[in-house]
Structure 1
Amino acid sequence: MKTFYSERIFIALATILLFSGCQRDDICPASTQTTSLLVISFYDIEDRETPQGPLNLQIKAAEDTLVFLENVNEETYAIPLRTDQDITTYEFTYNYAEEEDPDSPVEQNNTDIIDFFYAREEVYLNRACSFKVNYSGLDTRIDPGEDGAWILDYVIEQEEVENENNTHISFYY
């Protein structure tokens, strides 16, 4: 009988210790804002007020085979910036096609290589979420590639990338 009560007390203590080891602040809430993405909006060069997505856009990391977006026609995109360097390079391909169509009325696979420059600042959030990175001094350089530039102009709307609420850069094509 004595061992029965001893076992119950041991199980109760073990359960209490097990559940007290994980605290509520060990889980990063989904509502916590972590490192923000760079928000880019596209506009027709002739109508600089109305957003217009480029035809069949592909966005790919230049130093990698990782494709972020492919054959999309949206007006606004959010892409990550590197947290370990002060530069991120992407290839933006207008009218992307795996196999070019010689009968297409629009030039296919026109790629501009875009460098995004910035300074990084790590900000400690809390024990569960750790750090996030804020970017400041955003600037860009567009290399038109072999086929000539399809992105003709840009405007830095916000030099600070600290949230995803507004456009950081506008491209005009």
Structure 2
Amino acid sequence: MKKISLLILVLILTSHFSCERDDICPETTSTTPRLIIDLHDFSNQEEKKNVLDLRVQGVGNNEALPGYDVVRATDDLILPLRTDSNTTQFKLHINYLKKEDGTIEGNEDIITISYSTEEIYVSRACGYKTIFKNVTLTIEPDGENWIKLKESLTDNQSIEDETKAHFILYH
């Protein structure tokens, strides 16, 4: 009987000490960051200014970005960048209105974000994240741009976190 009790005790202790902690990536762990753009008033550049009836979609995509299918008013944008390419383009359409006959009203500007990517190991549970380096933003001229000016908030812009804005668009 003592041998069986000892065997059970050994099995329990062995199984307890050989278990590994679950590999779950905590929500607080920083992952691939998104681009943050503040929207400011062109005439008073220190002031943030709302854009009304904004719709944001990727170029080549027919659907709006989640959360950006006609936002009534916002003074910032949080946009995902492609990790499988060195550029991402977005259509920023203000005063967006789709009429019953299918025609669309408003003013659409296209921005292009160019960058290089670098993968960084986070942990076994979280895997890798991508950071973006040498980020530039250009506004495609169309003769009727509602975006008047852009400003990078640092030289050799890199996007490594989501704690502060990376660019300002003036309108």
Across the two proteins, how many residue pairs are aligned to each other? 156
Q: CA RMSD in A?
A: 2.5
In the TM superposition, residue 60 of structure 1 has moved relative to its aligned partner by 0.4
Q: Contact conserved, 1:53 with 1:74, CA < 8 A, in 2? A: yes
- Aligned residue for 2:153? 157
Q: Percent identity?
A: 29
- Aligned residue for 1:70? 69
Specify the code of the residue in structure 2 equivalent to 1:149: N
Unaligned runs of 5+ in 2: none
CA distance in 1, matches of 2:95, 2:69: 10
Give a deviation string over 1:38-82, Cα, whole Å, max 9, x none.
001111110101101211111101121231202221111211000
1:61 aligns with 2:58: yes
CA distance in 1, matches of 2:167, 2:109: 16
Give a deviation string over 1:121-171, Cα, whole Å, max 9, x none.
1000111100001111111121144x6211010001141101111110100
1:23 aligns with 2:43: no
Q: Contact conserved, 1:92 with 1:114, CA < 8 A, in 2? A: yes
In the TM superposition, residue 34 of structure 1 has moved relative to its aligned partner by 0.2
**Normalization by structure 2: what TM-score?**
0.81
Unaligned runs of 5+ in 1: 101-107
Specify the code of the residue in structure 1 equivalent to 2:153: E
CA distance in 2, matches of 1:97, 1:61: 18
- Aligned residue for 1:131? 128
Alignment of 1:10-159 (within 5 A): 16=15, 20=19, 23-24=21-22, 26-68=23-65, 69-72=68-71, 73-99=73-99, 108-145=105-142, 148-158=144-154, 159=157
Q: Deviation above 6 Å: which 4+ runs of structure 1?
A: none
Give a deviation string over 1:99-138, Cα, whole Å, max 9, x none.
29xxxxxxx4211111100111100011110000111111
